[in-house]
Structure 1
């Protein structure tokens, strides 16, 4: 009997082993390793190179079109020299470029990138995507034809939530804000010291303006302790041109023996 039970156990184990061998195996799921992003090698020199090319590319002088073409070809690889220069109509007007700035950078690999430049050109701001390559010695070249790019999408926002100043504080706060902004806009650094909190240094404008009026004064955040964050909407006039501006300042006020200004637009420096 014992020998029969032993043989029965051996048969069961053999059958289970055979079944496990015959059972189809499910493939082990493996997570794909994320592809590492190309390292960013685009420095200020690369940005300046793309900006200089954009300035040359968007500039045109009808009195000397060859000079315009030569300026463009100086940036590009030899195989692009015959195709990169824009073709203008015979009566095309002069085109000039003012300020340029880099809007965005897309790194393609360790030696190629697309640098999109915003250029204030005749007729409006143009966005130009410039393919820039770097060789083994660190030299830069425009490696392909540029492309005109769309400007950033215009966004929308909801007005910030504000609160009215407490009636008991409105008079003193409006007084110090008006006096402070009058000195601030007029460039009167010495006059500011009387309205600024101890230990804080706030500079005045470099060009003289005149405060016309404070048209609105509200809390930008709920009142807390001795501190108030206020939004002051003002009208100011440029003394040199007479131009009038609608401006809004975010002021941090602190209550000491009286209300004083601790920061303008969330910036302050220790004195």
Structure 2
């Protein structure tokens, strides 16, 4: 009826379900109508305590990632790889440089010299120092017991204010200064210097010696002789002054050994050609009239009166060419009752006129340099 199963069929189905489902066995036996059975099951579900909600079962399926893989373009991949390569290259280069600086210390180069011109400081006024030292030496070594004020006045001009103008002199004796020759200036600290001065003196009193016995010969008087002085000076107030007493020093008896000098190669033919004009020049040189024997425009002052030419001892011309030539002449003069041989370097030039040419002197210098 109405498509529902009959009671017999329903009972058999219930028994089979009870075997498979324990919950089916708990149903009342008298419930044979399916509608009643359904009502009873609904009532049991309402009255039973509600269990905690269970987490819904997840249907197993394929595992999904939280991101989506996207295909990367070729240009982006190349740029990324190139950047990584550059970065690692720099890291390796810095590592190598660091290792090199540890294993091989870098040499510190010497400071470069500036190419800008360096202006030197003011040099020591050597000329002024020599002049002041010469004035001091002349006053210091000249004395006269009858005129002590002259010596004091000469020293006061080159000494500091309020300095002792006696400078150790005992006020006795007499000595004259004939010549003063300043020499080397040796600078020191604090604007000081030491000036060498050679002084030619002539004592006017006899040589000091122990008292002579009665009837002994009088002591001789020393001839003129040179005395060496080293004078201390200082630059103060824009000028040079002597700072104190000097010290006497010895004068070498001989000079140092001179180097061997090689003279120019000689031209015998030219020396023979110019021997006559050179002799005429030295004759006029001693006579006081050189204008006629010198080249046009040359100026050679004559020698002073009292000098006579004995002769040209030798004349050697240097090898060369052109209109200007040079040679060496050895000349003997007579003066002061004696003869004296001297050496000259003579410069010649060729002077030409309409009908002839000749060699004339343009300059003459003493010595061989």
Q: Give the TM-score, by structure 1 length.
A: 0.70
Task: Work out the CA distance in 2 between the residues paired with 1:83 and 1:25.
Answer: 69
Distance apart, 1:182 and its partner CA: 0.9
Task: Work out the CA distance in 2 between the residues paired with 1:264 and 1:27.
Answer: 61
Q: Point out the structure with max Rg over C-alpha.
A: 2
Identify the residue that residue 19 of structure 1 maps to in structure 2: 99
Identify the residue that residue 320 of structure 2 maps to in structure 1: 223
Task: Work out the CA distance in 2 between the residues paired with 1:127 and 1:29.
Answer: 51
- From the superposition, tell whether residues 186 and 82 of structure 1 become closer, same or farther in structure 2 (CA, over 3 Å): closer
Is 1:237 matched up with 2:337? no
Task: Work out the CA distance in 2 between the residues paired with 1:69 and 1:25.
Answer: 71
Residue by residue, what CA displacement relative to the aligned partner does 1:40-75 show, whole Å, maximum 9, x if unpaired?
241654432211111223334466779757855764
Task: Work out the CA distance in 1 between the residues paired with 2:306 and 2:236.
Answer: 50
Specify the SS of the correspondent of 1:174: helix
Specify the SS of the correspondent of 1:50: helix
Identify the residue that residue 269 of structure 1 maps to in structure 2: none
Identify the residue that residue 134 of structure 2 maps to in structure 1: 51
Gaps of 5+ in 2: 1-80, 203-223
Distance apart, 1:185 and its partner CA: 0.6
Identify the residue that residue 40 of structure 1 maps to in structure 2: 123
Is 1:252 matched up with 2:332? no
Specify the SS of the correspondent of 2:99: helix
Specify the SS of the correspondent of 1:265: strand
Specify the SS of the correspondent of 1:178: helix
Whether the aligned pair in 2 keeps the contact of 1:76 and 1:141 (CA below 8 Å) is: yes
Is 1:165 matched up with 2:268? yes
Residue by residue, what CA displacement relative to the aligned partner does 1:72-96 show, whole Å, maximum 9, x if unpaired?
57644579749952679x8xx6433
Output the aligned Cα RMSD.
4.2
Identify the residue that residue 48 of structure 2 maps to in structure 1: none
Residue by residue, what CA displacement relative to the aligned partner does 1:204-234 show, whole Å, maximum 9, x if unpaired?
1232422112211111x21313433222212
Is 1:96 matched up with 2:199? no
Task: Work out the CA distance in 1 between the residues paired with 2:279 and 2:94.
Answer: 96
- From the superposition, tell whether residues 24 and 244 of structure 1 become closer, same or farther in structure 2 (CA, over 3 Å): same
Specify the SS of the correspondent of 2:309: strand
Q: Give the TM-score, by structure 2 length.
A: 0.54
- From the superposition, tell whether residues 217 and 81 of structure 1 become closer, same or farther in structure 2 (CA, over 3 Å): same
Relative contact order (C-alpha < 8 Å, sep 6+): which is higher? Answer: 1
Task: Work out the CA distance in 2 between the residues paired with 1:83 and 1:16.
Answer: 82
Is 1:143 matched up with 2:243? yes
Matched residues, number: 253
Identify the residue that residue 179 of structure 1 maps to in structure 2: 280
Gaps of 5+ in 1: 267-271
Is 1:205 matched up with 2:303? yes
Task: Work out the CA distance in 2 between the residues paired with 1:227 and 1:4.
Answer: 85
Higher strand proportion (structure 1 or 2):
1
Correspondence list, 1:59-74, <5 A: 59-61=142-144, 72=155
- From the superposition, tell whether residues 11 and 86 of structure 1 become closer, same or farther in structure 2 (CA, over 3 Å): same
Distance apart, 1:99 and its partner CA: 1.8
Identify the residue that residue 233 of structure 2 maps to in structure 1: 132
